[in-house]
């Protein structure tokens, strides 16, 4: 793990769940023995998006909501690089929502670690799209009236090929999910419930502990029906590998398309002009 730590000290609040995520990232990279120079962490803006600055790999702290397209560009430019997208619920599912379905359906080979606390922590605790109904924030002082977006349900609807959930309360389990996500050839979502003690209080730790339940030992993540049932449970949020299926990743499909184009040959300028004239 020491190979991936640098001298920059995290500036998160004492008790922030993101410390657990950082520890899990260290553990997962160590478990896979990935050379630091072969890894890139791409983030947006937010408390969660500070994480790449604390890891001795390539990193890029981009603009709000745009971590995914920048990460896709990095993966296309350097396919051999292991790309991790580090993001939060507001960064990914509010201003960045438009990018999520396309990264998932195209099955770009990267692992997205989404830290979810239901608020915008960096800008002092406003409501985010994942906040549960009735919850109090600085912008929902009488209780949140909007139904929350569930990241796992959304990923299933976008045909993501790997979906897992963990919590900051169990960094070891989270590291195992990240390892599985990195090993998966395609788009991987690791949804992490990560408490904000400053704006949600210690009660959010209690809420996560009481609201989550590990998937049973005999659960089959390759069965879509089981994944849908797990994702849409009303009583508990399931943790573990919820869904995984094998299908060609975006890079493989692009290579196949290039080979097809080479075999067919390039059209002439007249042929291209004719296609757009009719």
Yes or no: say if 6 and 56 are a contact pair by the CB < 8 Å rule: yes
Q: Give the C-alpha separation, 223 to 201, whole Å.
A: 37
Q: Are 11 and 17 in contact, with CB atoms under 8 Å apart?
A: no
DSSP annotation string for 63-79 = -TT-HHHHHHHHHHH-T
Written as tens digits, the pLDDT of the chain (278 aa) is 668 999 999 999 999 999 999 999 999 999 999 999 999 999 999 999 999 999 999 999 999 999 999 999 999 999 999 999 999 999 999 999 999 999 999 999 999 999 999 999 888 889 999 999 999 999 999 999 999 999 999 999 999 999 999 999 999 999 999 999 999 999 999 999 999 999 998 899 999 999 999 999 999 999 999 999 999 999 999 999 999 999 999 999 999 998 988 888 888 888 888 888 86
266/199 same-domain check: no
Which residue in 180, 243, 237, 191 sits closest to 17, CA to CA? 191
Structure tokens at 112: 């997205």
Q: Are residues 150 and 96 in the same domain?
A: yes
The predicted structure's pLDDT at residue 2? 61
| 199 and 266 co-located in one domain | no
pLDDT of residue 269: 84
Q: 174 and 88: one domain? A: yes
Same domain for 171 and 114?
yes
Question: 144 with 37, same domain?
Answer: yes
**Do 67 and 169 reside in the same domain of the chain?**
yes
* Rounded CA separation 120/44 (Å): 13
On whether the CB atoms of residues 93 and 151 are closer than 8 A, the answer is yes
Strand order in the sheet with 39-43: 58-61, 39-43, 82-88, 110-116, 187-193, 162-167, 237-244, 212-214
The H or E element containing residue 114 is strand 110-116
Say if residue 275 is in the same domain as residue 204.
no
User: Which residue range forms the structural domain that includes residue 58?
Assistant: 2-247
Mark whether 126 and 21 lie in a shared domain: yes
Number of domains observed in the structure of the chain: 2
Cα separation, 167 vs 19, in Å, equals 11
Q: What is the dihedral of CA 163, 166, 172, 173, to 10 degrees?
A: -60
CATH number at residue 166: 3.40.50.970
**pTM recorded for the entire structure:** 0.93
Shared domain check, 274 and 139: no
CA distance 98 to 92: 9
Residues 218 and 269 grouped into a single domain: no
Q: Helix, strand, or coil here: 275? A: helix
pLDDT at 276: 86
Residues 135, 213 within the same domain: yes
What is the rounded CA–CA span in Å between residue 37 and residue 151? Answer: 30
**Residue 116 and residue 148 in contact, taking contact as beta carbons nearer than 8 Å:** no
pLDDT at 1: 61
Q: Which residues pair with 192 in a beta bridge?
A: 115, 166
């Amino acid at each position: 793990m020491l190979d991936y730590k640098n001298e920059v000290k995290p500036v998160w609040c004492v008790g922030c769940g993101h410390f657990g995520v950082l520890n899990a990232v260290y553990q997962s990279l160590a478990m896979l023995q990935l050379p630091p120079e072969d890894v890139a962490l791409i983030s947006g803006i937010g408390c969660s998006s500070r994480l790449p600055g604390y890891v001795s790999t390539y990193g890029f702290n981009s603009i709000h909501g745009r971590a995914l397209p920048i990460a896709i560009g990095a993966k296309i430019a350097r396919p051999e690089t292991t790309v991790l997208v580090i993001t939060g619920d507001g960064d990914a599912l509010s201003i960045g929502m438009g990018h999520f379905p396309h990264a998932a359906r195209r099955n770009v080979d990267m692992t997205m670690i989404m830290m979810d606390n239901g608020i915008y922590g960096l800008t002092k605790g406003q409501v985010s799209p994942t906040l549960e109904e009735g919850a109090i924030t600085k912008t929902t002082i009488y209780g949140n009236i909007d139904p929350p977006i569930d990241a796992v349900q959304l990923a299933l609807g976008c045909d993501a090929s790997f979906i897992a959930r963990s919590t900051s309360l169990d960094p070891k389990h989270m590291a195992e999910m990240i390892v599985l996500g990195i090993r998966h050839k395609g788009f991987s979502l690791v949804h992490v419930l990560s408490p904000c003690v400053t704006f949600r209080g210690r009660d959010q730790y209690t809420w996560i502990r009481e609201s989550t339940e590990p998937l049973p030992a005999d659960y089959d993540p390759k069965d879509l029906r089981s994944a849908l049932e797990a994702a849409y449970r009303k009583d508990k949020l399931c943790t573990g590998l919820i869904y995984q299926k094998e299908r060609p990743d975006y890079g493989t499909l692009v290579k196949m398309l290039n080979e097809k184009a080479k075999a067919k040959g390039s059209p002439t300028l007249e042929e291209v002009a004719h296609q757009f004239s009719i």
